[in-house]
Chain A
Amino acid sequence: MGAAWLLRRLLASVAIIFAVVTFVFILIHVAPGRPCPETVERAVCEELKRQFGLDRPLPEQYWRYLVALAHGNMGNSYANGRPVRAAIAGTIPFTLQLAGAALVLDFLLGLGLGIYQAVRVNRIPDVVLGNVTLFIYSLPTFWLALLLLLAFGEKLRWFPVGGASDPVLCPVVHSLFCVADRLWHTVLPAATLGLVGAAGTARFQRAAMLEVARQDYVRTARAKGLPERRVVLRHQLRNALLSFVTRFGLAFPFLLTGAVLIETIFAWPGMGRLAFDAILLRDYPVVTGTALIASVVVVAGNLLADILVGLADPRLRVRAPTDVEVVTA
Chain B
Amino acid sequence: MLSAMQRRSFPSLTVFLILVVAGLAACERRGGCTGENCGTIIDAAVAEPGTLLPPSSEDIVANDIDEQLFLKLADVGMSENTLGDEDFQPLLAQKWEWDGPLTLVFHLDPRARWQDGQPVTAADVEFTFNAYNDSVVASPFRPKLHRIASVTQRDSLTAVFRFRERYPEMFYDAVYHMRILPAHKLRPVPRDQWRTAPFGREPVGDGPYRFVRWQPAQSIELVADSTFFLGRPGIRRLIWRFTPNLQVAVQQAIADEADVREQLVTPENVERARAAKQLAIYTYRGNVYTFLSFNQRAPDDTTKPHPIFADREVRRALAMAVDRASMVKSALGDLAKVPPGPMSALLWIWDPDIRQLPYDTAQANRILNARGWRDHDGDGVRDKDGQPLAFHMLFPTTSVLRRQYALLLQEQFRAIGVRAEVDAVEGAVVNQRVATGKFDTAILSRSNDPSPSSGIAQSWTRAGFGGSNFGRYDNPAFERLVDRAVTTTRRDQARALWRAAMETLNADAPGIFLYALDNVAAVHKRVDNVQLRPDSWAAVLRTWRIPPDRLIDRDRVER
Contact = CB atoms under 8 A, between A and B. Distances in A.
* Chain B associates with chain A: yes
Contacts of A265: 244, 248
Given A38-B430, A176-B24, A180-B20, A45 B216 contact: no
A313 interface: no
Range of interface residues on A (Cβ < 8 Å) = 35 or more
Contact of A171 (B50, B219, B244): B219
A280 B244 CA distance: 11
B251 A149 contact: yes
A281 B427 CA distance: 8
A82 interface: yes
Contacts of A76: 196
Contact of A37 (B7, B59, B201, B215): B59
Contacts of A39: 58, 140, 447
Counting chain B CB atoms within 10 Å of each CB, which of A40, A149, A153, A175 scores highest? A40
Counting chain B CB atoms within 10 Å of each CB, which of A39, A48, A276 scores highest? A39
A135 to B, nearest CB: 20
Interface string B89-119: 0000000000000000000000000000000
A112 to B, nearest CB: 15
A191 B447 CA distance: 40
Contacts, number: 182
B219 A175 contact: no
A93 to B, nearest CB: 12
Contacts of B9: 156-158
A273 B244 contact: yes
B140 A44 contact: yes
A33 interface: yes
Interface in B208-233: 212-213, 215-219, 221
B466 A43 contact: yes
Interface stretch (B254-262, B291-299, B354-362): B254-262
Nearest to B237: A168
Interface in A137-184: 149, 152-154, 156-158, 160-169, 171-172, 175-177, 180-181, 183-184
Contacts of B239: 167-168
A195 B274 CA distance: 33
Interface in B184-208: 192, 195-197, 200-201
Nearest to B254: A154
B373 to A, nearest CB: 31
Interface residues of B, number: 75
Given A41-B468, A162-B257, A82 B216 contact: yes
Contacts of B136: 47
A267 interface: yes
B252 A177 contact: no
A273 B255 contact: no
Contact of A154 (B48, B58, B201, B251): B251
A274 interface: yes
Interface string A260-292: 000011110110011011001110000000000
A81 interface: yes
Nearest to A152: B11
B243 A267 contact: yes
A47 B138 contact: yes
Given A157-B255, A177-B28, A81 B51 contact: yes
B217 A269 contact: yes
Given A44-B142, A158-B8, A162-B257, A167 B50 contact: no
A207 interface: no
B557 interface: yes
Contact of B252 (A152, A161, A166): A161
Contacts of B192: 51
Contacts of B557: 168-169
Interface in A1-41: 32-41
Contacts of A45: 435
Contacts of B430: 38
Counting chain B CB atoms within 10 Å of each CB, which of A40, A183, A267, A269 scores highest? A267
Given A180-B17, A267-B243, A169 B428 contact: no
Contact of B428 (A33, A82, A166): A33
A319 interface: no
A246 interface: no
Nearest to A270: B217
Counting chain A CB atoms within 10 Å of each CB, which of B197, B216, B244 scores highest? B244
B462 interface: no
Nearest to B218: A269
A162 B241 CA distance: 10
Contact of B248 (A37, A267, A277): A267
B242 A281 contact: no
B255 A51 contact: no
Nearest to B435: A42
Nearest to A77: B50
A166 B435 CA distance: 41
A251 interface: no
B6 interface: no
Interface string B8-25: 111100100100110011
B467 A281 contact: no
A91 B197 CA distance: 21
B426 interface: yes
A42 B467 contact: yes
A222 B21 CA distance: 47
Given A48-B138, A177-B27, A187-B14, A33 B429 contact: yes
A274 B242 CA distance: 12
A184 B221 contact: no
Interface string B307-334: 0000000000000000000000000000
A232 interface: no
Contact of B554 (A154, A168, A172, A273): A168
Contacts of A43: 466-467
Counting chain B CB atoms within 10 Å of each CB, which of A43, A156, A180, A281 scores highest? A180
A154 B136 CA distance: 47
B487 interface: no
Nearest to B11: A158
A79 interface: yes
B431 A38 contact: yes
A244 to B, nearest CB: 25
A154 B427 CA distance: 29
A181 B554 contact: no
B17 A274 contact: no
27 contacts: A34-B428, A40-B140, A43-B466, A44-B140, A47-B135, A82-B201, A87-B216, A157-B7, A162-B248, A162-B251, A163-B241, A165-B218, A167-B219, A167-B221, A167-B239, A168-B40, A168-B239, A171-B219, A177-B24, A180-B20, A265-B248, A267-B241, A267-B243, A270-B217, A274-B217, A277-B244, A282-B428
Q: Which 5 A-B pairs have the closest CB atoms?
A: A33-B428, A81-B196, A269-B217, A177-B24, A80-B50
Interface of A: 32-45, 47-48, 51, 76-77, 79-82, 87, 90-91, 149, 152-154, 156-158, 160-169, 171-172, 175-177, 180-181, 183-184, 187, 264-267, 269-270, 273-274, 276-277, 280-282
Given A169-B1, A176-B27, 4 more contacts: A80-B51, A154-B251, A158-B9, A161-B251
